[in-house]
Structure 1
Amino acid sequence: MQQSKLHSTKDNLQVLFEDNHLIVVNKRPGDIVQGDKTGDAPLSEVVKEYIAEKYNKPGAVFLGVVHRLDRPTSGIVVFARTSKALARLNKMFSERETEKIYWAIVKNTPPNTEDTLKHYLKRNPKQNKSFAHIKEVPDSKKAVLHYKILKKLDNYYLLEVILETGRHHQIRSQLSAIGCPIKGDLKYGFDRSNADGSIHLHAKKLSLVHPVQKEEITIEAPTPDDAVWNACN
């Protein structure tokens, strides 16, 4: 299956930033960040192998998972290399002290050139899906994002998305709710899947204060190598 070729290994890992405290990688679509019921090798184990080999570490490698991306998406994932960095990064991410910028490709014309979307998302664990409601419903969580059209492609639109909240499948659900499901995202209403099982949602840029050195760092991740993404650059 084509998707298996995309999976990261310690030899093809796309490392965007690394020091003694953290390592930031560009996740390929198809990678899972942390182990799940599928039993597939997670990205966290690939990064551990990379560190063990590069730094000749004989024992167990410490690696903390700070946040996750959905399996079919791509882009920036941050891991902590020390427990001190993990605690500080966890606090930073949970308190929204980072700025995350995503790129999404949609087929339908968005209602506005730029806009703020506010919904209440209710998660259905059995379907592994979040449903967007205009008004608050029981067990829902408020979701806010900002989008703008960056580029009109031949058959699609490239959107920049900035999250104000971080909810389950937030971008996928909210864009679907305005009639703009992400390319390849069958779960949220796109009409066909991508051949490799990916969706065209990419964690493009991340700005944060380094958990130890206290300096602001900004990291950007190249988009996957396919015809539609390549037309965006």
Structure 2
Amino acid sequence: MAEKTLSNKNNLIVLYEDNHIIVVNKRAGDIVQGDKTGDQPLSEVVKDYIKEKYNKPGNVYLGVVHRLDRPTTGVVMFSKTSKALPRLNKLFSEKSAKKTYWAIVKNTPQQPQATLVHWLIKNPKNNKSTAYSKEKNQSKKAILHYKLLKQLDNYYLLEIELETGRHHQIRVQLASIGCPIKGDLKYGFDRSNKDASISLHARELRFTHPVSNNEIHVIAPLPDDPIWNACLD
């Protein structure tokens, strides 16, 4: 299992790094790749870290392999070489990389463990997806598996594994069964978290290294928050 290291610059937490790959623990509010806001993306923070650590002249290569929603925390992997990027993209497109998420939700699900199947339609105008129980025109099938890990004082901790990767999939599917994620105003939670995060964390990533073929297992520490801390008690 990979050990974490802390880069003082921008409080970047590096969970795993080698010649081809770097995996970091994304903070709430960070955007993975540049967008219309103009805010500095996490990809640029990682480039700065690599440039400084290895004293690299000129531009630093970094490939974005996958993304997390801005209010979400946890594991994000980047490619440090053009050789590794297409192989990593293939891992994710073929679902060979196994991602596990933790979510703190408002209500207990009817079943402690289940598979959810919905058809999602994304509305780009409000950047929101809607879940339907039956297929509709232009909808995309969404499948996830969840299990209840722990009952907290006022919330419930779920572990989620995705079978598909759709826009806001975990958020909208859990909301559709009456379990909105803590802090997620967009999908039905009644109040925001203080730091504007939602309590959804990309907890683990398991994959076969695209160059060495070693099995890599990365765990992202939880945000430093009393409710998240209670999940480990």
Q: TM-score, normalised by structure 1?
A: 0.95
Give a deviation string over 1:86-110, Cα, whole Å, max 9, x none: 0100111111111110000001111
**How far is the alpha carbon of 1:68 from its aligned partner?**
0.3
**How far is the alpha carbon of 1:160 from its aligned partner?**
0.3
Partner of 1:130: 129
CA distance in 2, matches of 1:108, 1:228: 15
CA distance in 1, matches of 2:8, 2:202: 20
Identity %: 71
Q: What amino acid is the match of 2:139?
A: S
Alignment of 1:101-140 (within 5 A): 101-140=100-139
2:118–2:132: 8 Å Cα contact kept in structure 1?
yes
**How far is the alpha carbon of 1:11 from its aligned partner?**
4.4
Give a deviation string over 1:150-169, Cα, whole Å, max 9, x none: 00000000000010111010
Q: For 1:17, what is the secondary structure of its paired residue?
A: strand
Give a deviation string over 1:34-61, Cα, whole Å, max 9, x none: 0000000000000000000000001100
Q: What amino acid is the match of 2:129?
A: S
Q: TM-score, normalised by structure 2?
A: 0.95
Aligned length: 226
1:9–1:46: 8 Å Cα contact kept in structure 2?
no
CA distance in 1, matches of 2:218, 2:194: 29
Partner of 2:3: none
2:29–2:71: 8 Å Cα contact kept in structure 1?
yes
Q: What amino acid is the match of 2:90?
A: K
Q: What amino acid is the match of 1:157?
A: Y
Structure 2: runs of 5+ lacking an equivalent: 1-6
Q: What amino acid is the match of 1:213?
A: S
**How far is the alpha carbon of 1:21 from its aligned partner?**
0.1
Partner of 1:4: none
Alignment of 1:8-157 (within 5 A): 10-157=9-156
2:10–2:45: 8 Å Cα contact kept in structure 1?
no
CA RMSD between the two structures: 1.0
Give a deviation string over 1:179-209, Cα, whole Å, max 9, x none: 0000000000000011110000000001000
**How far is the alpha carbon of 1:9 from its aligned partner?**
7.3
Q: For 1:229, what is the secondary structure of its paired residue?
A: helix
Structure 1: runs of 5+ lacking an equivalent: 1-7
Q: For 1:77, what is the secondary structure of its paired residue?
A: strand
**How far is the alpha carbon of 1:10 from its aligned partner?**
3.1
CA distance in 2, matches of 1:161, 1:111: 15
Partner of 1:5: none
Structure 1 residue 169 corresponds to structure 2 residue 168: yes
Q: What amino acid is the match of 1:149?
A: L
